[in-house]
Every structure is written in C-alpha cells, then in structure tokens.
Amino acid sequence: MPYALPVGQGRVAIALALHALGLGSDDEVVLPSYVCASVLDAVRYAGLKPIFADVGPDLHVTSETVAAALTPKTKCVIVPHLFGNTAPIEEIAALLHGTGIHLIDDAAQSLGAHRAGRLVGTFGTCGIVSCGPGKPLAGSAGGVLVTADAALFERASRIALAYEPEAAIARRVGGFWLWRRFRKFSLGLLVLRDRLLGPPGADRLRPTLLSNLEAAVARHQLRTLQKHVQERRRNAIRLLEALGPLARWSILDLSGDGAAAKLALVLPAGGPAVSELIDQFAQVGVECQAGYTPCHQTAGIEATLPETERLWQRVLCIPLETALRRPWRLARAARNAARNARATSNGALDASLENVLGGV
C-alpha cells in the first residue's frame, strides 16, 4: 500500500475511507456486530446504514456470513481482525471481486499479522491501522488509512481536517498516563462515567489529523513492531502453559502468522462464568476483560446473528504485555476459579464443570 494518511483515530480513518468512496445515505455497509463499537461509530458518522454479519467460532466474519448479509444496496464490507488473529480476508476479497463492492481491511488490532502470505491491512480497496492504547502499534491515539488507490487517497486527503489543539493532546496523554498508573482506582470511575453519560460514540469521534507527538511515538513503535509481536507470542505460550486445561478454549493463532494482541478464550457452555474468572484473576493482580457486547444490541438494531448471540457472553480476554511478569499468578487464578466453579449448592460437584475444568 503506497499511500498512507495519518489521522487522529482509527475510527476517523474508517470514516474518511467511507466518505472518499463517495457512498450515499441509502448505501449499506456490512460489518460484524461482534467488534469494537468504534467501527460502527465510523459507519454512522459517515451517514451510512450498517448491516451486521454473523461470525464463526473464532469470532470473525466468514465469506459465508458476509455473503448472507449482502443486498443490492451493499456498497462496502468492513472486515476487522480481532485480538491479533486474522479473519479469512482473502476469501472475502475473492467473494467481492468483480461485484463493485468495496472492501476495507481493518487491521487495527492485528497489525503485524499475516494472512495468505500478506500483511493484514493490505487487502481490498484500503486498509486501516490504529495507534490507540492496547493495539499492536500502541500510543495514546491515532489511526492511518492506507491504500494503493491514488484517486481514493487524493479524495481522502482533500477532506479538510485540522490538527488537534496541543492542550487537548496534553490532557489526553496526561490523562492516559494517570489512568494506566492508577487504574485500580480509576476504572470504577470510568465505568460510572459511562453509565451516567453513555459510552463514547459517534458524537465523540474527533475528525483530526495525527499530531506530531503521536506520530513520533507511532514511528518508534513501528520500528520495533515485529520484535514486540515475537515477545507477545512467547508470552502467550507461557500463559497457555500456566492456564492448564483452561488453555484448550483459547482461539489465539500461534501458527506464527498472528500478532498475539490479546489471549482470548471462548469458554464452553456450562463452564465457568467470565465474571468469575475476571474476579479470580483480579485477586492475583491480573486485569482481564470480557469480550465485546454486540453492536446491534448496544445500538438497538434488530439482527439475526445466532453465532454472535451464542458466543459473545463467553469471551474472556487476558492481556499479553511485552513485559510479562509472574505468569504463575494466572495458574493460581485458574485453579481458584476451577475450585469455585466446580462447587454447586450444598457442595455437590457439577459433573459438566468437572468435565470442562478437570485437572486444573
């Protein structure tokens, strides 16, 4: 992809791409419901109609689920790669070839991963990279629109964007540091804020260019990207060993092609609750997260997505920091969760949980 346009957020890059494609208000964009809400924010910010596609067992859209969501009004498909893994982007590209439907390859969470011998983010009409917190190319904010289409790049570049004010950048960077440093105390306040004000949405999308400060951070991170990917892969193997039998529910791609951004587990029906494991890991100082709430639910949009509905409440995400310390803590948390989950009322042993967690 020879052309790159750096902007203030990954969602801004998606919105710019949609505007530059010249899509109209009646046009439809297919995307998964199981994805970061910022992708839906960008579609709605661009004034387009979202159509949700279901996912497969690995939480990614497939060529079959995308095909089922296409209509005569479909003008674009957004394919995100989640948790450092990859979607079958080459199959979806083949499906859309010759149809006139654009493909946006969203590599925000999986930069550095490969699919079919190519870097993700380089398939389709254009690709998206994010420089936000927790991403493989991590910073306080930022995104990049990449494309091989010179005309698309020119149209996107002509959309008037300003740099974010320096004071706003300083507040965000300082706030991000405080949030990370005192997360134990700040997380509850952030949750309360979102409950009172609602989570960040399309109205909080900042259509700005990437600041020089954040561009410098991104350039440094880009130089060390593959090194960090390799470190996270090694950490993932250590964590899977520490998790014992719980590791069987991992969907992490350890083939050597993934970016290992997070260690995601899809827990089985009848197994331990995600909230139970989060509590157990928190007790040993490991902050895990539940997966995404489907966008069609948070946006109040009706959609028939059986696999998404079946899986979304069973996803647990474990961080894969490059400076991993004391993985034995996870082993302790896994054992505690297993013991607690096995015990039912009156102390009886639940056979289904014993089958799921036996030997932890």
The domain ranges of the chain are 3-163, 225-357
Least confident span in 115-129, 216-230, 270-284: 270-284
- Of the ranges 129-138, 222-231, 319-328, which is most confident? 222-231
What residue spans of the chain are helical by DSSP H? 10-20, 37-45, 63-69, 89-96, 150-158, 166-181, 183-197, 212-223, 225-243, 274-283, 295-298, 306-311, 328-342, 351-357
Banded model confidence at residue 351, pLDDT cuts 50, 70, 90: very low
Residue 322 pLDDT: 56
Of 6-20, 179-193, 285-299, 315-329, the range with the lowest mean pLDDT is 179-193
CA distance 52 to 302: 9
- Residue that is written with structure tokens 């893994």 in the block: 85
**Beta partners for residue 74, in sequence order:** 28
Q: Is the pLDDT of residue 346 over 60?
A: no
In this predicted structure, the answer to whether residue 272 has a pLDDT above a threshold of 90 is no
* pLDDT tier for residue 285 given thresholds of 50, 70 and 90: confident
Residue pLDDT, tens place only, 139-182: 778 899 999 999 999 999 988 676 666 666 666 566 666 656 66
- Residue 355 confidence (pLDDT): 41
pLDDT at 316 exceeding the cut of 90: yes
Q: Is the pLDDT of residue 278 over 60?
A: yes
Please give the Cα distance from 165 to 153 (Å, whole number): 25
Tell whether the model's pLDDT for residue 52 goes beyond 60. yes
Residue whose tokens read 């991993």: 324
Taking 60 as the threshold, does the pLDDT of residue 273 lie above it? Answer: yes
Between 360 and 306, name the one with better pLDDT: 306
| Higher per-residue confidence, 354 vs 326 | 326
Q: Which of 61, 11, 21, 82 is nearest to 41 (CA)?
A: 11
pLDDT of residue 349: 30
**Predicted confidence (pLDDT) at residue 80 exceeds the cutoff of 80:** yes
- Look at residue 136 and tell me whether its pLDDT is greater than 80: yes
| Phi, psi dihedrals of residue 271, rounded to the nearest 5° | -90, -170
Single pTM value for the model = 0.84
Count the helix, strand and coil residues of the chain and give each as a percent rounded to the nearest 5: 45, 15, 40
Domain 3-163 belongs in CATH node 3.40.630.30: no
126 pLDDT above the threshold of 70: yes
> Which of the following CATH numbers is that of domain 225-357: 3.90.1150.10, 3.40.228.10, 3.30.70.100, 3.40.50.300?
3.90.1150.10
Give the per-residue pLDDT at 159: 85
Q: How far apart are alpha carbons 255 and 258 in whole angstroms?
A: 7
Which stretch of 61-65, 184-188, 318-322 has the lowest confidence by average pLDDT?
184-188
What are the strands, taking DSSP E only, across 33-136? 49-53, 74-80, 102-106, 114-115, 118-119, 126-130
